[in-house]
Structure 1
Amino acid sequence: MREFTVPPMATAPHVGGLADVVFDHALDDPDRIALARKDAAGQWQDVSAARFRDEVLALAKGLIADGVRFGDRVAIMSRTRYEWTLFDFALWSIGAQPVPVYPTSSAEQVFWMLHDSEVTACVVEHEDHAMTIGSVVDRLPHLKRLWQLDAGALAELLAAGAQIDDDVVHRHRRAVTPESTATVIYTSGTTGRPKGCVITHANFMFEADTMVARWEPVFHSRPGDEASTLLFLPLAHVFGRMVEVAAVRGRVKLGHQPALSASALLPDLQSLRPTFILAVPYIFEKVFNAARRRAEADGRTGPFDKAVEIAVKYAEAMEQKAFGQGPGPSAALRMQHQFFEKVVYGKVREAMGGRVRHAMSGGSSMGRRLALFFAGAGVTIYEGYGLTETTAAATANPPERTRFGTVGLPVPGTTVHIAEDGEVWLHGGQVFSGYLNEPKATERVLKDGWLATGDIGALDEDGYLTITGRKKEILVTSGGKSVSPVALEERVRAHPLVAQCIVVGNDRPYIAALVTLDQEGVDHWLAMRNKPSMTAAELVRDPDLETEVRRAVVAANTLVSQAEQIRTFRILAHQFTEEHGLLTPSLKLKRRAIEEAYTVEVDALYR
């Protein structure tokens, strides 16, 4: 199949912008709990629709009082927190355009984004961020104001706006149209300098309202309960931003968590107890690996692995039934599944707060077996696919017929087309309006409303999309064999000892790989084998650890032909990091930079 379309379920309003819904909801149901935020003692406090409206209005007045005008761009450099959402909707209320900046961005990255977008003001979280801005401020002639959240900026702005009449904000808000620019989000820059994606209010409203209309039933643990979610994705990323907008528009109670580490995230999942979550595969891998480590520490590795096997078989049987290809789980399989529900699956769900029954995953592809395990354990993960240029999801698996291992069908109102060379093209109301200050780059990817994604994929007979790689990442060996590295890398990375994997082999005689280690996994592995602690240099030479990693490579090689298999690999002493310029802020590999940094190690693979 070359093209597939799903009819629309939602359209962007003909008038207004993103902030209107805050005021509409407060008028319609002022006491409804709209958000949750932590107080100074770390306890969750409910925020009603009316209170959120009042805070948005007060902050909007403060921004006007401090000089922010309609159409101004204002950067936000912070982790995910309540104040970011507050600033987003306050800025949208006055027709300004937030420009998100990753809190881990280097000074030069910050300079480029703020200079390119000509921001006039910037919100930062703390002093380190302020110092980063300060180091480049002499090269930012348009930047006039800097507010620091942890230095009382919010209180100062609220006080500044106290004398501004409410109607001043409302006049600004009524001037916003769906075609107005809502935000400029910079791409991750895996292959060059980041480009600013201009996303309109209409893009966000179409995307968010479509997701709510199609997937709203899965927002709940059970019919009729209050929908809630914990947002821990970076709000500098389009996925996190879409979750924020969809939660507010869809009347989903929204909490924020600034850290992606398991030690910080899991306690908040336990206390907020969301009904569904939206995450990247990394989070689900962490939950699974933590559960397996606990089982191994308790001497129950065998039962846990059996529970995984049963969950996968159960989910596969349910999948086949959904597509009319089987009767569903057998009586024997249902009995085994019921037994492990009590001893394994319930504990896995409890790690996510206990109420989660559904989740959405994006950002990178998830292994089919991992998705099947979670489905069998009672948490169905709907994998999707999108880009910054599509305001997040362009495809996603539907609730009633999830095909694990794919990124699903086009979201309603979207068409997926596969070009002759296998490139995925997309058309829909969520497709951005172009790159800021980059007309030639815009012309290369936008063709009569179609977005040429740069991704390679295929549609099956039912219209489900599978992404197989990036056009720019296809490796061609010296023997002329084309190899997509993504599937190999993901299968190797699925091993609990592996943090990262990069496949190399362009213009080389065969395929090879560089592998980095997951410290938590390694620490647990050493403890379970009564091995002494080792330095990084000692670990990479340990023959037992090499054997474990080799198992991961062998498993990956079963996915491809012999000519595409990883012939050899090398374990590195340190992970690829953003600080060393080897990862993007969204944790994607910078392939060219990694190969240049590890030239000696790569060359050694071919001696």
Structure 2
Amino acid sequence: MQLIKQLQSFAESCPARPALLGEDSEFSYAALLTAVEHIAAELRAQNISVLGLYADNGPGWLLVDLACQAAGITLVPLPAFFSQQQLVHTINTSGMQALLTDNCERFTALDEVGQALAEIAGLALIETPATDPAALPPLTAKITFTSGSTGTPRGVCLSNETQFETAAALARQLESLHSQLHLCLLPLATLLENVAGAYTSWLLGGTVVAPGLARLGLSGSSGLDPAQLCRCIDDFQPHSLILLPQILKVLVEQIQHRGWQPPRSLRFVAVGGAKVAADLLLQARSLGLPVYEGYGLSECGSVVALNLPLADRPGAAGRPLPHCEITLRNREVMVRGPRYLGYLDGTGEDEEWLATGDLGEIDGDGYLHITGRKKNILISAFGRNISPEWIESEVLLEPVVMQCVVIGDARPHCAALIFPRPGADSEQVDRWLVAVNRKLPDYAQIRNWAALPAPLTFSDGLLTANGRPRRDLIAERYHESIENLYGGVPS
């Protein structure tokens, strides 16, 4: 409720200040609060305790999010890229009684949904009668789904307090930038955009711009129209953005090869979700994108470390935000501070320090360097420990490579599965890998590669929700290609 109280304060002190803009609607802080209170009353009248939300980006999504906080309702954001099977799993395990959506057709074929009950915030309220109410941890305000080790989405239960403390810590760090206009580029069902984008902007008294995903050039699980994305950024002239590494690569390519110029309005662009090569960050900055890498995880309410204009080390994930602490245990990154309440399946760590599963280093100035995933470490046939993310970040510097997965566990050398940029030929990839290998020690060099027949996507189960490769499933899917890279002799 702290966020609602802050919005109430702004509604009283500066009621006419713009708070939320869509493609065809806008809300001042006073109008935002009025709309939130109205939607909260409608939801209370439906006697809902757990509500799903499946909708395009836009003011309606954020209004419902805030209304659930005001009404004490647990919100379950449903990513648009979930498969039908994943939607069914989410509906069943969360125990939601209803969901709001702008795409009824997506749900009409599911046995788990019933009749339409009402229209709220321009969205259809559909009954989802839960067979068994979920036993949620006390104070669960939001269930954000992340990919589990088996590929089944795993529900992370978060309190309003954890989300607020993350946003408040970010707001304190960014206050001096006077960033007053944030453009939401990621789907709002993504916790990073939800908390670090919208909430943080409101705590700074700023304006959140939330156009539909089509206006941003985004479609499906991985479709992106780079020219449309750039046009949208030009149209709104934002002060801040949040990007995934692949989107950053696309923007750099648009500058280099299409002549796009980033708007001079940009003051801060955060990039996270996966490791970013220092050279790509420096290249982006030289081209007019004020990009800073951060690090976080859903279990901690999103961001826990971030580079800043006056505290910056390219190649590092930044220093810890003031609301948390970071240490290492056997090279694994451990975080202490606001955290999740548990997983929806009843599991979760009760220890003071949360084990992230990420490997890292902390330098003498307190900057966190992520070196890989604990379970992703490759051990070569010669006993060398190799982080595939390290090599992949170097390979992905060149736009000719859209996706790269490095392999080599129990093998004599490293190889890669690569999805080249459409139109690129194998010779271009070969030349780039020669250049990359010059920067790598011999045990980490990519000796050969195979082309992926199609991009890796979340919908086919080969990427996590935040774009990381699911290496075990990729190895299974492309077993024959991998064996051919090593002479067809199984390991």
In the aligned structure 2, how far is the partner of 1:51 from the partner of 1:269? Answer: 25
**Which position in structure 2 is the counterpart of 1:435?**
343
> Is 1:349 aligned with 2:334?
no
Query: Among 401, 419, 433, which residue is 1:553 paired with?
Result: 433
Secondary structure (helix, strand or coil) at the match of 2:188 reads: coil
> Is 1:84 aligned with 2:61?
yes
Secondary structure (helix, strand or coil) at the match of 1:288 reads: helix
Query: Among 2, 6, 9, which residue is 1:24 paired with?
Result: 9
In the aligned structure 2, how far is the partner of 1:232 from the partner of 1:33? Answer: 19
Residues 196-595 of structure 1: pairs in structure 2 closer than 5 A: 196-220=155-179, 227-242=180-195, 243-257=197-211, 258=213, 259=216, 260=218, 261=224, 262-294=226-258, 348-350=261-263, 354-419=264-329, 421-429=330-338, 431-439=339-347, 442-443=348-349, 446-447=350-351, 449-519=352-422, 522=423, 545-595=425-475
Query: Among 59, 66, 73, which residue is 2:39 paired with?
Result: 59
Greater per-residue helix proportion: 1
In 2 relative to 1, CA 191–504 (structure 1 residues): closer, same or farther, beyond 3 Å? farther
**Which position in structure 2 is the counterpart of 1:9?**
none
C-alpha RMSD over aligned residues: 2.2
In 2 relative to 1, CA 190–207 (structure 1 residues): closer, same or farther, beyond 3 Å? same
> Is the 8 Å Cα contact of residues 170 and 200 (structure 2) preserved in structure 1?
yes
In 2 relative to 1, CA 191–156 (structure 1 residues): closer, same or farther, beyond 3 Å? closer
Map Cα deviations across residues 416-468 of structure 1 (whole Å, 9 max, x no partner): 1111x210001123x222212333xx13xx42x21100000001110101101
Q: 1:144 offset after TM fit, Å?
A: 6.2
**Which position in structure 2 is the counterpart of 1:3?**
none
Map Cα deviations across residues 101-140 of structure 1 (whole Å, 9 max, x no partner): 1111011111222211111111222144224xx4241xxx
Q: 1:414 offset after TM fit, Å?
A: 1.8
In the aligned structure 2, how far is the partner of 1:156 from the partner of 1:290? Answer: 35
Secondary structure (helix, strand or coil) at the match of 1:27 reads: helix
In the aligned structure 1, how far is the partner of 2:201 from the partner of 2:9? Answer: 15
Aligned length: 464
- Over the matched positions of the two proteins, sequence identity in percent amounts to 28
In 2 relative to 1, CA 269–58 (structure 1 residues): closer, same or farther, beyond 3 Å? same
In 2 relative to 1, CA 186–155 (structure 1 residues): closer, same or farther, beyond 3 Å? closer
In 2 relative to 1, CA 283–480 (structure 1 residues): closer, same or farther, beyond 3 Å? same
In 2 relative to 1, CA 128–596 (structure 1 residues): closer, same or farther, beyond 3 Å? farther
- Give the counterpart letter for 1:435 in structure 2: Y
**Which position in structure 2 is the counterpart of 1:176?**
none
In the aligned structure 2, how far is the partner of 1:103 from the partner of 1:203? Answer: 25
Map Cα deviations across residues 36-56 of structure 1 (whole Å, 9 max, x no partner): 1111xxxxx542111111111
TM-score, L = length of structure 2:
0.89
- Higher-Rg structure is 1
Greater per-residue strand proportion: 2
In the aligned structure 1, how far is the partner of 2:464 from the partner of 2:323? Answer: 31
In the aligned structure 1, how far is the partner of 2:115 from the partner of 2:282? Answer: 50
Q: 1:577 offset after TM fit, Å?
A: 2.3
- Give the counterpart letter for 1:79 in structure 2: D
Q: 1:88 offset after TM fit, Å?
A: 0.3
In 2 relative to 1, CA 128–601 (structure 1 residues): closer, same or farther, beyond 3 Å? farther
Q: 1:282 offset after TM fit, Å?
A: 1.8
In the aligned structure 2, how far is the partner of 1:391 from the partner of 1:30? Answer: 29
In 2 relative to 1, CA 513–156 (structure 1 residues): closer, same or farther, beyond 3 Å? closer
- Give the counterpart letter for 1:135 in structure 2: L
**Which position in structure 2 is the counterpart of 1:317?**
none
> Is the 8 Å Cα contact of residues 42 and 120 (structure 2) preserved in structure 1?
no
Secondary structure (helix, strand or coil) at the match of 2:256 reads: helix
> Is the 8 Å Cα contact of residues 107 and 136 (structure 1) preserved in structure 2?
no
In the aligned structure 1, how far is the partner of 2:99 from the partner of 2:392? Answer: 38
